[in-house]
Amino acid sequence: MSGNAEFFDEMRQPDGSVRPAYSNYCEWYDEQDPKLLRRKHSEAETNFRKTGITFNVYGEDEAEERLIPFDMVPRVIDAREWRRLTRGIEQRVSALNAFMHDLYHRQEIVRAGRLPERLLRNNEAWLPNMVGFTPPGGVYTHIVGIDLVRTGPDEFFVLEDNARTPSGVSYMLENRETMMAMFPELFLRCQVESVSDYPRRLAKSLAACAPDCAGDKPVVAVLTPGIYNAAYFEHAFLADQMGAELVEGSDLRVVNGRVTMRTTSGYKAVDVIYRRVDDEFLDPLTFNPDSVLGVPGIMDVYRSGGVTIANAPGTGVCDDKAIYSFMPEIVEFYTGEKPLLPNVETWRCAEEDSLKYVLDNLAELVVKEVHGSGGYGMLVGPASTKKQIEEFRHKIVDNPENYIAQPTLSLSTCPVFTKKGLAPRHVDLRPYVLVSPDKIDITPGGLTRVALEKGSLVVNSSQGGGTKDTWVLKD
């Protein structure tokens, strides 16, 4: 696949020469003893296992804990490319936040005929409880992950938006820490932007979104569903790194119009809750009455301005893949500009002409559930059997509104370390964005996910993908 013109190779030019961004890294790599590199690769895996960086895979059997494979060859992005990406990400995140405010207020975009009303009416993530309410500082999407794919030298596309509870940032931080511990000399040769201050920036950004009733030093807590959650490692890691309290629903209670947490010296008011609990389980008095993960009465405190919840309840609308298909219109409506980062071409199966096209071309397309995530509930046409395609066809026909389809993209490749040396594999990128009332802060880099199997296009960790350190070079 190395010299395959079909895929853009991020490290090598079509003639096999190394692209400038990778030149320092490749010089260093060529000087290394292959035996030493193999040993280092094995050490990295042991380190991740010791640290406990695992995630749960949910299948037919009991949830199984797995290690996300780490690849020690960095993905390198030069400063010019990164500047271009950050402008597009900032524009998109600004539009998402403005869109959320409009959806829960006047719905101008629907009145203008730019977004069908049915997308809200049939959307479980849209919360009537948020209508007419503006969160502290006007911020809905405090932490956003924008998934990007690349298909050519200057061709980046947004694959999806993660505005509900984007995960994976702990892997971004641990990947960098591991690389710096294993190859400190490499960072002297390659000038790379730092990502290690993300927890400090996250704490600062969340504190800037505190409600008016907060003191000079707002109290921030991370609300986790508990140790059995797939991303529990990340919840504990971020709380620890931020110097915030890690709490479960049972540690919190509403007292005198404030959300308070249990401490050794009684209950103490909390100003900002970075919640990793889904909307449905956040408040048993408002949503699911059987939930034991949330806090009874928290929505009343929230709506009265007594606490900030990040991300705001109801932001899951932005993760919807049917809404995603309207993002070019959304960006233009709220910013007055054409999108700097285009969407992947998308067919909405809810529309008759698109449905016909999708059904006629299933073998070539990727079909996704509009509410799906993690690589589940999707069809990758070129990698599926005739039987799988026919089974999926019936699902689409039975419920067309539940599906969108996209072309099978020629994702760019980055090298991974194998026993036989470097080999290209397909990648995507999730940069992390922090939003406060007066700032949009984008961490230089993000999480690169890599499809470790040769030829595979599925990078999700739940589907066998791995991760690698992402380097943004300094100017």
Q: What is the pLDDT of residues 38-49, one digit of tens each?
A: 999 888 888 877
Residue 18 pLDDT > 80: yes
pLDDT exceeding 70 applies to what percent of the chain?
94
Q: How many CA atoms lie within 13 A of 43 on its CB side?
A: 11
Distance CA 341, CA 354 (A): 23
Residue 451 pLDDT > 50: yes
Q: DSSP class of residue 68?
A: P
Residue 5 pLDDT > 80: no
Residue 347 pLDDT > 90: yes
Residue 378 pLDDT > 90: no
167 and 234 in contact (C-beta within 8 Å)?
A: yes
203-262 per-position pLDDT tens digit: 999 999 999 999 999 999 999 999 988 889 899 999 999 999 999 999 999 999 999 999
Is residue 354 helix, strand or coil? helix
Across the chain, mean pLDDT equals: 91
CB atoms closer than 10 angstroms to residue 443:
23
Residue 116 pLDDT > 60: yes
Does the pTM of the predicted model rise above 0.85? yes
What local confidence, expressed as pLDDT, does residue 58 receive? 36
Give φ, ψ of 102 to 5 degrees. Answer: -65, -40
Q: What is the mean pLDDT of residues 69-78?
A: 94
Of the given ranges (134-138, 294-298, 365-369), which has the lowest mean pLDDT? Answer: 365-369
66 falls in which pLDDT band (50, 70, 90)? Answer: low
What local confidence, expressed as pLDDT, does residue 4 receive? 42
Edge-first strand order for the sheet with 220-223 is: 245-247, 220-223, 272-275, 308-310
What local confidence, expressed as pLDDT, does residue 62 receive? 38
What local confidence, expressed as pLDDT, does residue 420 receive? 87
Domains of the chain and CATH, by start? 20-211+307-342+409-472 (no CATH), 212-306 (3.40.50.11290), 347-407 (3.30.1490.270)
What local confidence, expressed as pLDDT, does residue 275 receive? 97
Handedness of CA 316, 319, 323, 329 (dihedral sign): positive
383 falls in which pLDDT band (50, 70, 90)? Answer: confident
Q: Classify residue 371 by burial, with Cβ atoms within 10 Å: 0-12, 13-18, 19+.
A: middle
pLDDT exceeding 90 applies to what percent of the chain?
80
